[in-house]
Amino acid sequence: MSFDRKIKIAPSILSADFANFGQEIQAIETQGADWVHVDVMDGHFVPNLTFGPQAVKAFRPHVKTVMDVHLMIAPVDPYINAYADAGADVLTAHIEAGPHIHRTLQAIRGAGMKAGVALNPGTPAEAVEHLLDLTDLVCVMTVNPGFGGQKFIDMTAKIRRLRSMIGDRPVHIEIDGGVDPTTAPLVAEAGADVLVAGSAVFKGGSVNTSEVYGENIRKIRASTEGTWT
């Protein structure tokens, strides 16, 4: 997994057809997805339940790009090895999920994955300033985590601050929540390079009409053209 700052579209399979994940993953990749985003929720840290390690392991053979696993769970540390064994390429933990984020990020890297740290909308950029040398990705939540399809919360000032703090480090800024062709250029111009999109990619399409996914991905990507990245 090489590093670059080109815009990457990472459809969230939380918006896919739950009865058809394998074909849905193949469809979005065929139609231009750069990464596949997997939202893991525990019904405790966030008010929803989604994918355990066995589900993620079942997704892995279908993912040919990058499997980007976002843990909205607490605690995180007991599950790091399970998600490594499931095949995650990137594993992201919330800074709000536990008191020992350094240990968590070190353990994620130690298990052979790229380490991400996520920030809820109410958490300032400065909370991760001391973590940037342990981190491969900072995920800025632009909704309160727990459900797909929520309204975008403007975090462009936080994104700009993060980009300034990151400097030349090979650290991605990922945006998760409410990304569509209207909001994508705002966050890309501020310095984000990985855009998670759920309903904006999957709306109107299916595995039988996957060209709609491609149209939606292209619209999001095209909306970011000309931004600084």
Active site residues: 39, 176
Instruction: Count the alpha carbons within 13 Å of 48 in the hemisphere toward its beta carbon.
Output: 13
Angle subtended at Cα 4 by Cα 89 and Cα 187, rounded to the nearest 5 degrees: 95
Note whether 110 and 168 are within 8 A (CB): no
CA distances from residue 90 to 135, 139, 174, 177, 221 in whole angstroms, order as listed: 11, 11, 12, 18, 22
Q: How far apart are CA 44 and CA 23, in angstroms?
A: 30
Token output for 203: 């709306």
Burial of 138 (0-12, 13-18, 19+ CB in 10 A): buried
User: Whole-angstrom Cα distance, residue 138 to residue 119?
Assistant: 8
The pair of structure tokens assigned to 69 is 């696993």
Farthest-apart Cα atoms in the chain, separation = 47
